[in-house]
Amino acid sequence: MIVLSLVLFAILLCFGFVLLFGAPYLPTLKPQVRAALELANVKPGETLLELGCGDGRMLLAAAHVGVKSVGYELNPILALIAWLRTIKHRQMITIIWGDFWRQPWPETEAIFVFLLPKYMKKLDTKVMQYKHKPVKVTSFAFEIPGKTPAAVRDGVFLYEYDL
């Protein structure tokens, strides 16, 4: 009983402490995964960065169309699930357990997020500081304040940054 309580407490802690740094876990549904990939128009050989990759579903969908990806995930349970789910695609998919606000972002053509409204301005600032090349940002559910999306489909907003 004590062991079970400790396990439950640890699981709650993993899902709870993420709230201090970003959005809680809620998976993106298939139509929105498809919409995000189509809007970002990432091509085989290009890279997608997912900030908070959850169970890895977006990364898997990207791999199926030949797109490499990197996913940051703070929740260790989800990071492990994503790592295991994507194990067959290790050449294409990298899972990084950590806080994406505090890590350097790799070079990428596109970024996908499903966060919370209160983080969208911070995201905008961070993308503006991103010093690589033009990047497309797709966000499920939440808009970037003060920016007009280049396109919207199925609740996914596309933003184009020409840095």
Ligand X SMILES: C[S@@+](CC[C@H](N)C(=O)[O-])C[C@H]1O[C@@H](n2cnc3c(N)ncnc32)[C@H](O)[C@@H]1O
Cβ–Cβ under 8 Å, residues 65 and 58:
no
Q: Is 40 in the site for ligand X (CB under 6 A)?
A: no
By CB under 6 A, the residues from 115 to 154 that bind ligand X are none
Residues numbered 91 to 110 that lie near ligand X (CB under 6 A) are 99-101
Q: Quick check: 59 and 28 in contact, CB under 8 A?
A: no
Q: Which stretch binds ligand X (CB under 6 A): 2-10, 17-25, 121-129, 145-153?
A: 17-25
Angle, helices 30-40 vs 57-64, to 10°: value is: 50
Q: Judged by CB under 6 A, does residue 69 bind ligand X?
A: no
Judged by CB under 6 A, the residue of 27, 76, 106, 149 near ligand X is: 27
CB of 14 to ligand X, least distance (A): 9
Of 4 and 125, nearer to ligand X (C-beta) is 125
Residue 1 beta carbon to ligand X: minimum distance, rounded to whole angstroms: 28
**140 beta partners:** 156
Residue 96, C-beta contacts closer than 8 angstroms, at least 6 positions apart: 70, 71, 72, 73, 79, 103
Cα-flanking dihedrals φ and ψ of residue 144, to 5°? -90, 120
DSSP 23-64: PPP-PPPHHHHHHHHHHHT--TT-EEEEES-TTSHHHHHHHH
CB of 101 to ligand X, least distance (A): 5
In the complex, minimum distance from the CB of residue 31 to ligand X, in angstroms, rounded to a whole number: 12
Summarize as ranges the residues that interact with ligand X (CB under 6 A).
Answer: 18, 21-23, 25-28, 50, 52-54, 57-58, 72-75, 78, 99-101, 114
